Amino acid sequence: MTNKDELLSQLRIDRDQPYAGESKTHLWIGGGIAILAIAFGISFLYEPDPVKVQIEMARMAVPDSSSATVLDATGYVVARRISTVSSKVTGRVAEIFVEEGQRVEKDQVVARLDDSNTAKSVALSRAELRSAKTLVTETQARLTEAKLTLERNTELARQQLVSAAALDKARADFESLRAQLESRNADVEVSQKRLALQQQNLDDLTLRAPFTGVVISKDSQPGEMISPISAGGGFTRTGICTLVDMSSLEIEVDVNESYIQRVRDEQFVQAVLEAYPDWKIPAKVIAIIPAADRQKATVKVRIGFQVSDPRILPDMGVKVAFLNAEPVAEEKPKEPLGVRVPISAVRNEGEDKFIFVVKDGVAELRKVTIKASYGNDIYIGSGLRPGEDFVVEITPELKDGARIEQ
């Protein structure tokens, strides 16, 4: 019986004893998890940063005859308000407070001339005024005394206590002093006007900006002579600086008189600066000068900008396109040109054209077909649908599948 119990006990499985195969399986699983964790960490550390790009939504372009150009011309940007700040008198420049490119406000001091002589003249005139006022006070006192003497002699003459000659002398002294008082008062007025004149001459030596604008040139330096008129020899300047009111900038173009009938007042114009060929500036005709140039057979047209921008500078070359000013007749809808994108959004690889489409923050390189190309605009026939987002300008670091941000 005992032997059977021992045999049965040997056949039992001891579950507390580890199984060799099971321990190996756990080891492999743990190692796999560790490898995956390391791979994930490496991919997280070495994942490239998102590429910052500009994104726009694709739109279908339909030709519009109302915006068709009827005339192209070239001209220059000019300023209606431009001034050389000078002085009313000839003098030596003492200080200059402006530099090229500086913006100044109206009546702001831009320079001072040497005022040593004029300041002394002002001081002399002020002293003369004080002297004239002192003489008026003295004459007034003497006149008061003469008036009392006249009144006293008049009363004594009525009582026959003084002679008629004494009364006449008192009356003559009174009238003489009254005339002197009027003369002294006139001298005071003359001294006041002379002082005001000298003060004005002193103020004229402080040069101020006639309007708000930007200094485009500095024409003199401290120590130089400046004069309102040109002097011989070239050593005398005629101005301190040149000031331009940037809000008065406009375009002047010469239109051939054979095509001037295509231009109308208030006609819309599209202007393009030669310095910024991709920037189309809205403008409008201000006036058509009612005179023709006999030598060039042209008519001058003034065009005003509808936007203000610091990139617009005087004397810049500009190309203008006069837009259709006539009403558009009803016509059948025209065939769409395609999805319009800038030329910077298309990548050329041989004869194939590609564009980056953005979906869920990821750039997708997609092949497209070009239907037309006008200037800096490309019209895509297929490969890009209206409403999809695309990258406006492709950068070298932009790759297919790259994460992007705006």
How far apart (Å, rounded) are the C-alpha atoms in residues 247 and 214? 10
Which domain-ending residue is among 274, 304, 323? 323
Asked if residue 33 is part of any domain, the answer here is: no
Asked if residue 36 is part of any domain, the answer here is: no
Residue 106: domain span:
84-114+205-244
φ, ψ of residue 96 to 5 degrees: the values are -130, 130
The reported pLDDT for the residue numbered 164 is 87
Which domain-ending residue is among 244, 267, 293? 244
Half-sphere exposure in the Cβ direction for 272 (13 Å, CA): 13
Which domain-ending residue is among 203, 231, 266? 203
The reported pLDDT for the residue numbered 216 is 93
The reported pLDDT for the residue numbered 230 is 63
CATH of the domain at 397: 2.40.420.20
Co-location of 91 and 231 in the same domain: yes
Asked if residue 46 is part of any domain, the answer here is: no
Co-location of 57 and 73 in the same domain: no
CATH of the domain at 90: 2.40.50.100
Residues 6+ away with beta carbon under 8 Å from 77: 249, 250, 251, 273, 312, 313, 314, 315, 316, 318
The residues facing 251 across adjacent strands are: 77, 303
Question: 66-77 pLDDT, tens per residue?
Answer: 456 788 899 999
Co-location of 196 and 218 in the same domain: no
Asked if residue 158 is part of any domain, the answer here is: yes
Half-sphere exposure in the Cβ direction for 300 (13 Å, CA): 12
Tokens 């309102």 identify what position?
228
Instruction: Provide the H-helix boundaries in 204-238.
Output: none
Q: What angle do CA 147, 153, 154 make, to 5 degrees?
A: 90
Tokens 């485009």 identify what position?
216
- Residue 18's nearest CA partner among 6, 27, 9, 30 is 27
Co-location of 344 and 271 in the same domain: no
Co-location of 131 and 191 in the same domain: yes
Residue 360's region, left for phi above 0, alpha for psi from -120 to 50, else beta, is left
How far apart (Å, rounded) are the C-alpha atoms in residues 187 and 136? 9
Residues 6+ away with beta carbon under 8 Å from 328: 65, 66
Asked if residue 346 is part of any domain, the answer here is: yes
Asked if residue 150 is part of any domain, the answer here is: yes
Co-location of 98 and 227 in the same domain: yes
Co-location of 306 and 275 in the same domain: yes
Co-location of 162 and 284 in the same domain: no
The reported pLDDT for the residue numbered 375 is 55
How far apart (Å, rounded) are the C-alpha atoms in residues 398 and 355? 11
Co-location of 109 and 213 in the same domain: yes
Asked if residue 392 is part of any domain, the answer here is: yes
Residue ranges, the chain, pLDDT below 50 = 1, 19-21, 43-45, 65-66, 327-333
How far apart (Å, rounded) are the C-alpha atoms in residues 319 and 313? 14
The reported pLDDT for the residue numbered 25 is 56
Asked if residue 240 is part of any domain, the answer here is: yes
Co-location of 126 and 106 in the same domain: no
Question: 331-345 pLDDT, tens per residue?
Answer: 444 556 678 888 888
CB atoms within 10 A of CB 271: 22
Furthest-apart CA atoms within the chain: distance in Å:
190
How far apart (Å, rounded) are the C-alpha atoms in residues 89 and 56? 61
The reported pLDDT for the residue numbered 19 is 47
The reported pLDDT for the residue numbered 65 is 46
Question: Is the Cα dihedral 153, 156, 162, 165 positive or negative?
Answer: positive
How far apart (Å, rounded) are the C-alpha atoms in residues 341 and 355? 10
Query: Please, what is the average pLDDT of the chain?
Result: 83
How many domains is the chain partitioned into structurally?
Answer: 4
Co-location of 152 and 123 in the same domain: yes
Co-location of 76 and 185 in the same domain: no
